[in-house]
Structure 1
Amino acid sequence: MNKKPIEQPVLLGMMRLLDYPELATPQALLGFVERCVEQGLNGFDHANIYGLGQCEAHFGAALRLRPQLRGQLQLISKADIVPAAQDVSRWRVKHYNTGAAYLTGAVEASLTRLGVERLDGFLLHRPDPLLCADEVVRCLQALVESGKVGWLGLSNAEPLHWQSLGRDLPLRCNQIELSLMAQQSAWDGQLQAMQADGLQVLAWSPLAGGAFSPALQQALAEVAGALQATPNQVALAWLRRLPGSPLPILGSLRWSRIEEALNGATLQLDAPTWFYLAEAARGRKAP
């Protein structure tokens, strides 16, 4: 299996796709996707629970208007979270399901909604405390061998999760929350461990949903002024300075925000600037 990393400035997260009126029609969304590809952005990060499947369905409706575009895209999806609204048991409880039947069905349902024959990447969405490793390994291997999945990864996994499954599966990435406001993995060795194990780091919520503390907002503005950049560009550059150059998953689909990220893609921070921002976010000095 190809473990070549995804090479583009950002991935585009599809979780809030339905929140954008300007992308509400398949034709409008197709135009957006085409514009992304023209700018070198071809990776789209889905999950079967985004919009309870409607985000994938809407994306698929757009892609059906121009099927030949599929060859230029990298489509990633995730599964194993069962929201309470989709729990068919008497308990109606959110839970995880990594059973072979569920994962296989989730992949096939995503393929149907997207109108494609293969997911480029498929990730287990959250660590399942009831995961049976042998069953999951056989299931994911079968999905790859069938051609329905190109490569495999994990999301929100801790070291023992990826190391245990990685003995038998060529895992390509781990998608984790990572930002100035969620920087624990930068300090506890997890990023170095992922790099050592050959996992690309995909960073979800890289701008913390805009919820930067006042102290961090001030520090970002100071650095942005010194570097002739924007605060968001500086925050993304802070991520790129980390081991493995984590790839941000941009949650916003506003073109101005995407363009801002693209224009700042080459911005680099030196070590003192990185620590200055980390300290502002954490509220304490480095150990």
Structure 2
Amino acid sequence: MKVMPLTSRGISTSRLVLGCMPFGGGWNNDPITETDRLSAEKAVDAALSIGISMFDHANIYTRGKAEETFGGILRNRPQLREQMVIQSKCGIRLADGSVPGHFDFSKEHILESVDGILGRLGIEYLDILLLHRPDPLVEPEEVAEALGQLKSSGKVRYFGVSNMSVAQMRFLQRSIPDQFAVNQLEMSLGHLDFLNQSILVNQESGANVNFSEGLMEHCQMENIQIQSWGPLAQGRFSGRSVEDEPENVQKTAALVQQMAQEKGTTPEAIVLGWLMKHPAMIQPVIGTINAERIIACKDAERQSQLMTREEWYCLYISARGQAMP
């Protein structure tokens, strides 16, 4: 039996995660509207209705309004908190006047970020905190001090990273006693380097693959949950117009539609099921506020179990636009 890494750590979670990046309106300083609040609440209810118990945030999403909007839902319905695993991220600073957007893993920024996250969400602790993108100026010992303080104060239970290579994880981990629980990466039928890296060993075409060598294997061996952001590939294979897309995208979208019809399910369930069939037990983070689209993902885990090796490879090869090497 396959065991989900987060579950094995004592975190009761779902196979799917709702990404809350669209909550709160636009990436601006406009106030949160009643429409924004109602849309977010419908999205949360839709997620809960199909068994999603994990919700993904970042302190920068819609400039903090995403967490604030979610916090409003929790204040009105406090009983929901204990039904949820709440994850957020820090480490990205948005552009501010003459200061460009940049990354910041300083102790001060991490601690300030978590206080801000907890304040906007209106909660006492985060289940998981992710370091959002690699900071070239990182000092692992400084990060360790910040994470240790957050753990001892009860503000964060588990830690992880996002968009990091094996080397970057190991570099940080040497100073941090708590093993990372998560690495969140872009992966989907439209973003295949996580697979291409493994099949193009000793192949000339592998030189163009941009994915950390051995990352999938490292996370599996170290019991680190791999999460996928962008798992639906912005809808390219599940309903969005692909008229102007490359031939491989058009053919794959048609194949997904055909499989969904034959199996009596939705294109979203096929696209996510394909990703979830991977032995790493990838956990997709669905980044939509559309309640109907969230519900369309309900059948994904079942489809991952039903999908044959041949069907999985048909989708992979079609999306690659090339035969296996």
Partner of 2:269: 233
Aligned match of 1:223 in 222, 241, 259? Answer: 259
Partner of 1:76: 87
Distance 2:264 2:51 in 1: 24
Distance 2:163 2:138 in 1: 14
Partner of 1:248: 284
Aligned match of 1:24 in 35, 40, 46? Answer: 35
Instruction: Report matched runs for 1:52-131 at 5 Å.
Output: 52-85=63-96, 91-131=98-138
1:209 matched to 2:234: yes
**Secondary structure at 2:297 match in 1:** helix
Deviations 1:13-38 (A, max 9, x none): 11011349997365664465355335
Letter in 1 for 2:315: L
Letter in 1 for 2:53: N
Q: Measure how far apart 1:224 and its partner are.
A: 2.3
Distance 1:207 1:80 in 2: 25
Q: Measure how far apart 1:6 and its partner are.
A: 5.5
Let me know the Cα RMSD of the aligned residues: 2.3
1:175 matched to 2:177: no
Letter in 1 for 2:224: L
CA gap of 1:181–1:34, structure 2 versus 1, over 3 A, is closer
Deviations 1:127-147 (A, max 9, x none): 111111111112112111110
1:153 matched to 2:164: no
Q: Measure how far apart 1:63 and its partner are.
A: 1.2
**Secondary structure at 2:323 match in 1:** coil
CA gap of 1:242–1:205, structure 2 versus 1, over 3 A, is same
CA gap of 1:6–1:171, structure 2 versus 1, over 3 A, is farther
State whether residues 78 and 122 of structure 1, in contact with CA within 8 Å, keep that contact through their aligned partners in structure 2: yes
Q: Measure how far apart 1:190 and its partner are.
A: 2.4
Partner of 2:302: 266
State whether residues 46 and 294 of structure 2, in contact with CA within 8 Å, keep that contact through their aligned partners in structure 1: no
Gaps of 5+ in 2: 1-5, 27-31, 198-213, 238-248
CA gap of 1:219–1:78, structure 2 versus 1, over 3 A, is same
CA gap of 1:51–1:234, structure 2 versus 1, over 3 A, is same
CA gap of 1:246–1:23, structure 2 versus 1, over 3 A, is farther
Distance 1:186 1:22 in 2: 41
Distance 1:35 1:215 in 2: 30
Letter in 1 for 2:47: C
Letter in 1 for 2:146: C
1:140 matched to 2:176: no
Range with bigger deviation, 266-275 or 41-50: 266-275
The number of residue pairs the alignment matches comes to 283
Distance 1:178 1:35 in 2: 24
CA gap of 1:117–1:101, structure 2 versus 1, over 3 A, is same
CA gap of 1:156–1:275, structure 2 versus 1, over 3 A, is same
1:43 matched to 2:54: yes
The TM-score with structure 2 as length reference comes to 0.80
Letter in 1 for 2:258: E
CA gap of 1:229–1:68, structure 2 versus 1, over 3 A, is closer
Letter in 2 for 1:72: Q
